[in-house]
Amino acid sequence: MSTTYSPELLDELAQFVSELITQNDYPGFEARAFKVGLPDRFFSASSKLFGAALEHDSVFVRLVALRWFEEKPGTIKPFVKAIIEKLSDGDEYVRAEALHALEKYHTPTSGNALSCAELLVDQSTLVRKASAKALAKMLPRVNEGSAKELEDVKKTNLERVHKLLMDAYSDKDVLVRQKVEKAMRKSGSFERA
């Protein structure tokens, strides 16, 4: 079987994920939290397969795609825009996994960080925690300037990120507050309000 992208391979992936979720279903099982182990024929497939899977109708297939990108962060660059689009997905698990994938990206921009920081005000505690955690990982890389971007744009974006972090510092969830504090410390901009 070929491991290059084809619509048939995407259909096979979707079928595999669907069958696995069905086999493991039981009362109280949260299928979206289930980390699917992929057979080698899928795991070693082209990143184009998982880029296409990001647009799949099934939440489970989108989650598998995002988790695949987490495992292979070197393949994220051509799909950053598609992953950022998943930050506005209707499903909280998809938004959280998109944040996890972006936190693994080697050369994030201040714009990527701002997109993540905007989820510090999400309704879901899961997403707010993931956002703060992603920022704690991303901001040091953004500050070291490994991505090419205009300094004035970077400065403006990071000021907005800092304001969102300061606002989230008073979040009602203690874990969110702890992760926000860590993000501020690691970014070098920690100031107690």
186 half-sphere exposure, CB direction, 13 A CA radius: 18
Query: Where are the CATH 1.25.10 domain residues in the chain?
Result: 107-193
| pLDDT at 144 (0 to 100) | 83
Residue 151, Cβ density class (10 Å: 0-12 exposed, 13-18 middle, ≥19 buried): exposed
| pLDDT at 149 (0 to 100) | 81
Positions of the chain with pLDDT lower than 70, given as ranges: 1-4, 26-27, 29, 31, 189-193
Q: Give which of 79, 121, 111, 84 is closest to 99, Cα–Cα.
A: 84
Classified by CATH at the fold level, domain 107-193 comes out as Leucine-rich Repeat Variant (1.25.10)
Write phi, then psi, for 20 (nearest 5 degrees).
Answer: -65, -40
pTM listed for this prediction: 0.89
